[in-house]
Structure 1
Amino acid sequence: MQEAETASPGENEATQPMNVALWKDALLQSPTPDNLSRLFKALFSSEQGLEAVRLALEVVSSHPDDMALTITAADLISKHTARHDIVATLLRSVLLRSPDVVSVQAFLADSLVASGDIAGGLTLFSEMMARYPRERASLCEHISLSLLEAGYAYEASQILFLWLKDGETTAALLNNMGCALERLGRSTEAIPWYEKALTVAPEDPTIRFGYAMTLLKAGNLREGFARYVERAPLTDGQTGWFMSLPRLRHGDDVAGKKVILYQEQGLGDTIQFIRSVPYLQAQGAEVTIAVPWGLVRLLAQSFPDVSVRSIVEFGQEDGYSYAAPIPDLPFIAGVMSESDIPAPIPYLRADADDVARFAAMLPARRPRIGLVWAGDRRVKSEHVAADKRRSTTLAEMGAALCPVDATLVNLQFGLPRAEIEAWQGQSLFDPMGDVRDMADTAALMESLDLLISVDTSPVHLAGAIGLPVWLVNRWDACWRWGDEGDNSPWYPRTRVFRAREKSFAPVLREVGEALHTWVEAWKAG
């Protein structure tokens, strides 16, 4: 992020407190879109999102005739939060003054769809298609993308099929078609659409990334990982001094050299791919792993010959030759097919004393079944949409699974854990108040017989330590679970239950039926 013109929190603004009053004064003295954007992003980087939104609205209300400022505020709020209602209000205020600005009308329609007002958004899009015939291709891009982000991939694909028969073709439309088909579990059909998009815009990073993910989902690990490592690291704005080091590639000579592997994307990605660290060690590399605090202890006890550091406390050090984001490891290690995936499980290990501590805490009744019903709740708009797609509720999961002749153990973390307070079903033992980090979670899992979870990091952790896990997978499955099948080459003891629609109710009923059969077999065996 660029520094403010009059006051800067310095290069480590993500970890240092901001002088909000100073920044606010600077913005009020010069209320430009650029200054608003800098302050807004800086506040979000400092985990002051509510203050960012409040200040944006205050500045806009003080300058109601400044359309550029209002549009900037709407854009910032739409990208960093899920407050589509606020965005729509801001955009309507702009359209009251300038009703024929096509881009603002399209933005409003996007916001309506994102907020759940599908009918309102599509009605506005339909009116615009009739009113602005020269903008139809662009509007079709908006319509299809809005539907995709709202979870209506089939509807988006139908609109795109109709348009692409005779209408103008753009890279974005071709990309959106590829994305729609991939989300519908038709990755093999999606690949040609991405390839067509790349002939129009060969350097577009969004298209290139989507193509890589779709190749991986279709099972083409050789080409998929080769294209996947072409991405810029997805660190959500966070930077580290080590990111300026040469990026480690497959075939680089690492013998006797120091290499940093750093956190990128989610905790699950790190857990899934960290299994390839022994490959680098076998090549003679001296490996340092930089990850969030919650993973440090688990990885340190799993890889005792590796230096594991907290990524936010990892100050500059000399002597390193290469760095790589951890999800690059499969390509670096030469994973070209499922048979190349490093097989030894467990590759992550809990501490014996921690295992004993949690074992003593848990009820004696067996089997013990862990439950996770939601991913972490994040604030950025695209994250909120993804979290909704992968998450259910305790009430919905519990209704499908219970009653069952077993001890239910909560492994849910974060804000969704509060749903336990309203739960009135079968007793759910909750030890998460004693869980400090992922090492503790692993130790707790060692005393379970099964984990049932939506697609979030505990699935990866259970798979990595060898605990049987049932994945309740969302309808638009992540690439790593493929389009079909009930198993995973990454985690042999994982059983995949696939939702075929946005509702989790049908797949959870399937899980519930399977669970009762499993419990009977467990007790009989």
Structure 2
Amino acid sequence: MDIERALACYEAQQYDRAIAICQTLLAQQPQRLDVLNLLGGIAFKQGEWSEAIAHYQTLLKQYPRFATGYANLGRTWQQIQGLPEAKAAYQQALALDDSGTQWWFSLGHIHWDLGEIEAAIACFEAVLGRDPHWHEARSTLSLLRLLQGDFQRGFADYEARPSRRDLAETFPRGDLIWRGESLRGKTLLLLAEQGFGDAIQFVRYVPELAAEGVRVWVRVRPPLLRLFQGLPGCDRLFSTDDPIPAWDAHALLMSLPYLRQTTAKTIPAKVPYLHLSPHCRPGFPEAPAGSKKVGLVWSGSPTHRKDSDRSCSWAEFQRWLDLPQIQFYSLQKAPRPEDAEAIAAEPRLIDLAPQLRDFWDTAAMIQELDLVISVDTAVAHLAGALGKPAWVLLAQTPDWRWGLQGDRSAWYPTLRLFRQSQRGQWTEAIAAIRERLTPWGSDPLSAAS
């Protein structure tokens, strides 16, 4: 049949041939559901989002009870961040057929991105009600529970994340995975995972483990090696490339809150818990006499799933540069191409990036500053771990560790949080920071109160 040839061309990524066949079929039968749906799918694969939406909308006018058509329309709107439209489409699909587990999963992510946390939780619970073994749904649900402050269920479900679930297969000696039993007098190897900020946040557990008589070894990526040489309680430090002698048990760093049964009241929040080990410090460009020194970071990793939510533009931060008695420094590594030229041409900003070889260098620079202002990046965690004042700009729906409310962090006492009131809009947070910088006295923390 011709539709089978069109599908074969689609599977072979011969999209032009598939389109030609579909157009021939529509000339004969203009209302063919399978052809209209396939044309939408081809446009989606080609990144022709407006065309895909048009095909699905045409299909749904003729077949208003075709649940898959609404789901495909929702998927397309989601791809271009048309979240309200995507939500409406998925809800219509599920009203027609609530068995679509993937649709519940996608709708859950949309609710999450829109800041509709209870609705997102309900969606992921619906997924798990239909498929209890969908680990990604469980680990995503855990992040939402943690965001709400439900540490008991959140950290337990976070053990379903891929790095923990597959640990026995991805790291030697699966029989040595630590379950939380006493390790006094024994060696515990802690494995960093995910982002640099995650490792910086959760090495806070090392000193208390060492105080309980555990010999703690830590394995991290090379950019963190020199920084963690100043970690109290760390007996040995390994790079991900180093061979490791025999150990007694191992665990992922981000499993420690679960293994230690951490609650909101028992977070190890004493800072600083990182200290600079002796190395040759990079030169620090001095500020004019009497000026405060403020470091800036306005964007995170472009590969992060929520980068568009959590990163800001240099143009937003640039609004502060006219403030008197403040010298601004850039701690931004690898600025976006659209920002790099503007930074180079900005005489009111001193760029420290060329001197930042690793996180030790960044920490050394932070120690010279009076204040760090950053979006949600590893630098914010680093400033907090060093016990330095930092102001952190957060998306309307932030990462779980910042919670949903308040201007203080339970994890980092010296951090102050500036939250978006509307998704994608930094204007209020930028203005609030400017207001606090303008009359800035001797204490950055009091300025943020």
Q: TM-score range by the shorter chain?
A: 0.7 to 0.9
Q: Which amino acid counterpart does residue 409 of structure 1 have in structure 2? A: Y
User: Over residues 468-489 of structure 1, what are the superposed CA-to-partner deviations in whole Å (9 max), with x where a residue is unaligned?
Assistant: 1111222332111222222221
Q: Which amino acid counterpart does residue 480 of structure 1 have in structure 2? A: R
- Hey, what does 2:259 align to over in structure 1? 332
Secondary structure at 1:349's aligned position in 2?
A: coil
User: Over residues 353-396 of structure 1, what are the superposed CA-to-partner deviations in whole Å (9 max), with x where a residue is unaligned?
Assistant: 556x545x332442111111111334xxxx4x532332222123
Secondary structure at 2:438's aligned position in 1?
A: helix
Secondary structure at 1:224's aligned position in 2?
A: helix
Cα pair 2:37 2:69 within 8 Å, conserved: no
| 2:317 equivalent to 1:397 | yes
Q: Cα–Cα, structure 1 residues 346 and 165, in superposed 2: closer, same or farther, change >3 Å?
A: same
- Hey, what does 2:424 align to over in structure 1? 502
CA distance in 2, matches of 1:105, 1:362: 61
- Hey, what does 1:74 align to over in structure 2? none
- Hey, what does 1:351 align to over in structure 2? 277
Provide structure 2 residue ranges, at least 5 long, that are not aligned to the other structure. 1-6, 24-33
| 2:363 equivalent to 1:363 | no
| 2:367 equivalent to 1:442 | no
Secondary structure at 1:302's aligned position in 2?
A: coil
CA distance in 2, matches of 1:206, 1:190: 14
Cα pair 2:10 2:42 within 8 Å, conserved: no
Structure 1 residue aligned with 2:414, among 470, 493, 497? Answer: 493
CA distance in 1, matches of 2:315, 2:164: 34
- Hey, what does 1:416 align to over in structure 2? 336
Q: Which amino acid counterpart does residue 207 of structure 2 have in structure 1? A: P
CA distance in 2, matches of 1:119, 1:520: 54
TM-score (normalised: structure 2): 0.83
- Hey, what does 1:125 align to over in structure 2? 56
Equivalences for residues 158-307 of structure 1 within 5 A: 158-165=88-95, 167-233=97-163, 241-242=171-172, 244-249=174-179, 251-303=180-232, 305-307=234-236
User: Over residues 232-269 of structure 1, what are the superposed CA-to-partner deviations in whole Å (9 max), with x where a residue is unaligned?
Assistant: 207999x85437454322x3232333322222111111
| 2:306 equivalent to 1:386 | yes
Secondary structure at 2:276's aligned position in 1?
A: coil
Secondary structure at 1:124's aligned position in 2?
A: helix
User: Over residues 136-158 of structure 1, what are the superposed CA-to-partner deviations in whole Å (9 max), with x where a residue is unaligned?
Assistant: 43344444444445434444333
CA distance in 1, matches of 2:229, 2:341: 35
Equivalences for residues 463-474 of structure 1 within 5 A: 463-474=384-395
- Hey, what does 2:383 align to over in structure 1? 462
How far did 1:511 drift? 2.8
Cα pair 2:216 2:233 within 8 Å, conserved: no
Cα pair 2:52 2:76 within 8 Å, conserved: no
CA distance in 1, matches of 2:247, 2:68: 47
- Hey, what does 1:156 align to over in structure 2? 86
Q: Cα–Cα, structure 1 residues 141 and 160, in superposed 2: closer, same or farther, change >3 Å?
A: closer
CA distance in 2, matches of 1:102, 1:276: 56
RMSD over equivalenced CA pairs, Å: 3.4
Q: Cα–Cα, structure 1 residues 125 and 523, in superposed 2: closer, same or farther, change >3 Å?
A: closer
CA distance in 1, matches of 2:231, 2:337: 28
User: Over residues 181-202 of structure 1, what are the superposed CA-to-partner deviations in whole Å (9 max), with x where a residue is unaligned?
Assistant: 3323332343233222211111
CA distance in 1, matches of 2:40, 2:403: 34
Q: Which amino acid counterpart does residue 461 of structure 1 have in structure 2? A: L
User: Over residues 103-155 of structure 1, what are the superposed CA-to-partner deviations in whole Å (9 max), with x where a residue is unaligned?
Assistant: 8645445457xx6x654443233234346667x43344444444445434444
CA distance in 2, matches of 1:523, 1:229: 36
Cα pair 1:245 1:321 within 8 Å, conserved: no
Cα pair 1:345 1:466 within 8 Å, conserved: yes
What is the total number of aligned residue pairs between the two structures? 427
- Hey, what does 1:479 align to over in structure 2? 400
- Hey, what does 2:302 align to over in structure 1? 377
Structure 2 residue aligned with 1:431, among 342, 352, 357? Answer: 352
Most deviating of 149-158 and 458-467: 149-158
CA distance in 2, matches of 1:108, 1:279: 56
Q: Which amino acid counterpart does residue 314 of structure 1 have in structure 2? A: D
User: Over residues 43-93 of structure 1, what are the superposed CA-to-partner deviations in whole Å (9 max), with x where a residue is unaligned?
Assistant: xxxxxxxxxxxxxxxxxxxxxx9847744xxxxxxxxxxxxxxxxxx6455
Q: Which amino acid counterpart does residue 334 of structure 1 have in structure 2? A: Q
CA distance in 2, matches of 1:344, 1:220: 22
Most deviating of 154-163 and 426-435: 154-163
Q: Which amino acid counterpart does residue 357 of structure 2 have in structure 1? A: R
Cα pair 1:354 1:440 within 8 Å, conserved: no
User: Over residues 190-237 of structure 1, what are the superposed CA-to-partner deviations in whole Å (9 max), with x where a residue is unaligned?
Assistant: 323322221111111221111111110111011100110122207999
Cα pair 2:229 2:277 within 8 Å, conserved: no
Secondary structure at 1:346's aligned position in 2?
A: coil
Cα pair 2:309 2:423 within 8 Å, conserved: no
- Hey, what does 1:49 align to over in structure 2? none
% of aligned pairs identical? 27
